[in-house]
Amino acid sequence: MVFKLYTSNFRIENGLVYVIGKNDVGQLGITQTAAHELTLLKYKNRQLKAKDIATSPIGHTLIVHESGKLLVCGNNRNGQLAFNQKTVPQILSLCLNQEGYVPEKIERVFANGYEYADATYGFSMALTENGDLYGWGSNHNKSLGIQDGTNKENYYPKKIISMITDVALGSDYALLLSKLLMHADKLENGSHLYGTGQNTLGFPMGSKFTSGANAPQPLKTFKSCKNIYAGINCAVVYAKTENDNYSYWIIQRTINSFGFEWNKISALQGIEVVDLSIGDSQILVRAKNKSSITPFLLSWGKCEYGSLGFGASVQERKEPRIVTCMRGRNVLKICAGSNSSMIVCE
C-alpha cells in the first residue's frame, strides 16, 4: 500500500516497510540522503514490521511498529517528533540540523500500545489501543485541541481526549471520531464527530461553531458519523444528520469565500464508496454500484498536472466524475498526493 505521494514514499508489504524518494531531513528513516529504488527499512539492524505509517508534506514520519511501539523520524522543527529541539543531538544517534535520520522510539508516554498515527504540517497525533489520543508539535492554530490553552510548540505528547476510535489530520486541524456522548439518544452504529483548530471562517467545523476553542468541539451538525477524511483545504465525512440518512458531506476552504459550511455530495448517493483519498487539490474515490462487478474510479477537484486522470486539458471538475480511462479495470488501491495521484489495478 502506498501511503502518501510527496517527494518521499512508503509502502507496506506483508508487514515489511519499503521506502523510496527524497530523504533530505531523514523522513525515510535511513542514513542516505535519498533512496533511488525501493529500500527495506530497518530498525536496530532488523527488518521493521509496521501496523501503520503516517508521513507529512514537510518531512516527518510516524511508524506504528507491529509490537505497538511508536517510532518517529524526520523534521522536528516544530517538535512534531516529540523531542525537544535543544536535546535532539543528545537523543538521536544520528542527526543533522535538528532532524532525526533513524527511527527512534517515543519512551515518554508508553513503550507499547499504539494502534494508529497521523502526521501533517508541524504536528502529530497517535491513538492508543484503549482509545486515548495524544498530540504534540505546533499548536499555533489550536490544532491539537489541548485544553490547557498553550498556543505554541509542544515537545511532549499530551493527552487530548479519550474514547477515540479514529483520527484524520488536515493542515491545521483534526477530525476525531469518538464514542463520547454528544446527544441524548444512542449512537446508531457510528461515532460522534469532533473537530480541532482555529475554525477560521468556519473551516473545518462550519460557521456556526466557535473559533479557536482549546478543546475538541462536537460537530452537532451530524447526529452520527462513520468515516472521516481530512485534506489541506477540504474534509469529507460519511455521516447522518437529524433529518437525513447516512451520506457523504464535504466542507471546502476556498479563496474569496466566507462562512464555510458542510454540503452533501449528491453525486455519491446510491454508490458504495470503498475508499476515498484527498490530495492537495484533488479527491479520488474507489466505488461500486449494483451494476459494477469490480470497483471503479471517480475523481474531482483541481487538476494542474493531470492528477484527476482526465488529461492535461481538464483543469477542474466540480463534481465526482468517472475516470473513463480506468473503465473495465479492477481498481485495488488509490492515493491522492501533492499534484499527483496513484492507482493500483489488478
**Last residue of some domain: 223, 246, 273?**
273
Same domain, 235 and 307: no
Same domain, 109 and 170: yes
Same domain, 206 and 345: no
Beta bridge partners of 104: 72
End-to-end CA distance of the chain: 13
Same domain, 147 and 254: yes
Number of domains in the chain: 2
Phi then psi for residue 254, to 5 deg, are -120, 160
Same domain, 251 and 289: no
260 found inside a domain: yes
Same domain, 327 and 241: no
Q: List C-alpha distances in Å: 193 to 118, 180, 238, 252.
A: 17, 10, 10, 17
Residue 244 region by backbone torsions, left for phi larger than 0, else alpha for psi between -120 and 50, else beta: beta
**Which of 206, 216, 111 is CA-nearest to residue 164?**
216
266 is written with which cell numbers? 449528491
Per-residue pLDDT in tens (0 to 9) along the chain, 346 residues:
444 444 456 677 778 888 888 888 888 888 888 888 888 888 878 888 888 888 887 788 888 888 888 888 888 878 888 776 543 322 233 333 344 456 666 654 444 566 767 777 788 888 888 888 988 888 878 888 886 656 677 877 888 888 899 999 988 889 999 887 654 445 455 688 999 888 776 787 876 666 666 788 888 889 899 999 998 888 999 999 988 899 999 998 876 555 688 999 999 998 899 999 998 889 999 998 777 778 899 999 988 788 888 887 788 888 999 998 888 888 888 888 877 888 888 7
Which domain range does residue 89 map to? 8-273
80 found inside a domain: yes
1 found inside a domain: no
Element at 91 (helix H, strand E): helix 88-91
